[in-house]
Amino acid sequence: MAAILQVRPVTDVLPRLRASASPQDPQFFQDPYGFYAERHADEPGFFWEEYGHWCFADFRSVSELLRDKRFGRHILHVASREEIGLPQPKPHVADFDLTEQHSLLNLEPPAHTRLRTLVNRAFVSRQVEQLRPRIRQLANQMIDSFEHDGSVDLIKSFAAPIPAIVIAEMIGLPAEMAPQLLNWSNRMVTMYMYNVSHETELDANRAAADFTAYLREVIAERRRQPQQDLLSHMLTSDRAGDVLSDDEVLSTAILLLNAGHEATVHTTGNGVKAILESGLDPQSLFASEGQTEATVEECLRFDAPLHLFTRYALMDLEYNGIRLRKGDVVGLMLGAANRDPRRFVHAERFDPFRTDAANVSFGAGIHFCIGAPLARIELQEAMRVLFARLPRLRIVEPPRYANVYHFHGLERLRVAWD
């Protein structure tokens, strides 16, 4: 999920292939698209100075590399830390590391295949389709709670609580736990920031420890008394005697809870912002089921919720003339790929009616987001209800993005209506 700092120095890079932009520079993270446009105009494969590794910004390369089995999310199954110069784990983030130990996001086959097979059934389209009425109900409930106020921070009061409640209920946790789950999740994902501070690491580790302690109690309860929820499904799934351990269930539940709302929150905020700034009639964007789907896909393309995803080179290789050694990190720039002018006509324009629609916002290959069908349904239902209930919605405060570059989302979105 996060960009990992290159563990070995790379010195033999031509000056024209180097680029610099600080992920913590407000001018950059408020609008990274100018930097992306420069990469598209020059070499889409470039060495990002601040991160210390190669990155790819074009749609073709990102799509290919997401599927290329010479790259992976994990490296220690094919190399030792000493061989590639990977630092030892930090003792003060041991609780956080434990939550990542069996994460689907970081495993490679066969471990990834085994775990994903045991979990995937709950997230296939025919299963999550059944959640549409609940998502519509939640969207209406949220709007009921603030409609008479005349204005609201849409992120805090609408975008964030809906997916948090949905994924909590799917897993088998009470809806009233959603605010606490959001608190733990928001603190944990700060670990993926560029140049994270020691204090941030300590706080993220405390959140991980508290989250873990809570889930261990729930897991123990479900083992005693299974219910009709995803947690019980993970604990009781048995493929020829193969069952998940408590630590595997723990990692998977935390990943699903964190990832299960993060992208949806950001896409809701970014998408509403794009719609309101486009000057298009929102009613036309949700006039039919097909157009609603197209509008959501354009929201995912135009201002993606995740901008940088990394892979390790699992062997020495060459890609597009760039020599990579086993253990080197490459950054796949999802947000940049979605704005590639070679792939999209008027790539910089928000156009829900475009005929060349596509995006890599959920990734691709074996690590394609397991929750993508759920996220799409949440976005379709929540945004359709929002614009039906509040057709005169307008932005009343300049939106600002949070200082967490990889997770490209708004700090708040202050809107009003008549």
Weakest-pLDDT range from 116-120, 142-146, 370-374: 116-120
Closest CA to 73 of 50, 43, 104, 46: 104
Enter the pTM of the model: 0.92
Q: Give residue 354's pLDDT.
A: 96
Which CATH code, of 1.10.630.10, 3.40.190.10, 3.10.20.30, 2.40.160.10, is assigned to 15-416?
A: 1.10.630.10
Choose among 314, 339, 337: nearest CA to 325: 314
- What's the confidence (pLDDT) of residue 244? 82
Give the strands of the sheet with 18-19, arranged side by side. 18-19, 45-48, 53-56, 329-332, 309-313, 71-72
Eight-state DSSP code of residue 48:
E
- Name which of 39-43, 88-92, 111-115 the model is least confident about: 111-115
- Residue 100 near residue 251, CB atoms below 8 Å: yes
Query: Domain locations in the chain?
Result: 15-416
Give first-to-last CA distance, the chain, whole Å. Answer: 40
Q: What is the CB neighbour count within 10 angstroms for residue 291?
A: 14
Could you give the angle at which helices 198-224 and 178-188 cross, rounded to 10 degrees?
140
**Percent over 70 (pLDDT), the chain:** 96
Band of residue 6 on the pLDDT scale cut at 50, 70, 90 = very low
The pLDDT of 181-206, averaged and rounded, is 90
Instruction: Give CA separation, 196 vs 24, 182, 210, 404, in Å.
Output: 10, 20, 21, 10
The structure tokens 């580790």 sit at 205
d(CA 319, CA 344) in angstroms, rounded, equals 23
pLDDT tier for residue 164 given thresholds of 50, 70 and 90: very high
Average pLDDT over residues 110-123: 82
User: Phi, psi (5° rounding) for residue 9?
Assistant: -65, 140
Q: Worst-scoring range by mean pLDDT, 80-84, 294-298, 351-355?
A: 80-84
* pLDDT (0 to 100) of residue 8: 53
At 245 the three-state DSSP class reads coil
**Mean pLDDT score of the chain, rounded to an integer?**
91
Query: Strands 45-48 and 53-56: what pairing?
Result: antiparallel
CA distance 278 to 301: 15
**Does the pLDDT value for residue 383 go beyond 90?**
yes
Residue 410 pairs in a beta bridge with 401
Q: Which residue has the higher pLDDT, 13 or 416?
A: 416
116-125, 263-272, 279-288: range with lowest mean pLDDT: 116-125
pLDDT value of position 406: 86
367 in Cβ contact with 105 (< 8 Å): yes
Mean pLDDT of 13-19: 84
Q: How confident is the model at residue 116 (pLDDT cuts 50, 70, 90)?
A: confident
Question: pLDDT tens for residues 328-349?
Answer: 999 999 999 999 999 999 999 9
pLDDT (tens digit per residue) in 306-327: 999 999 999 999 999 899 999 9
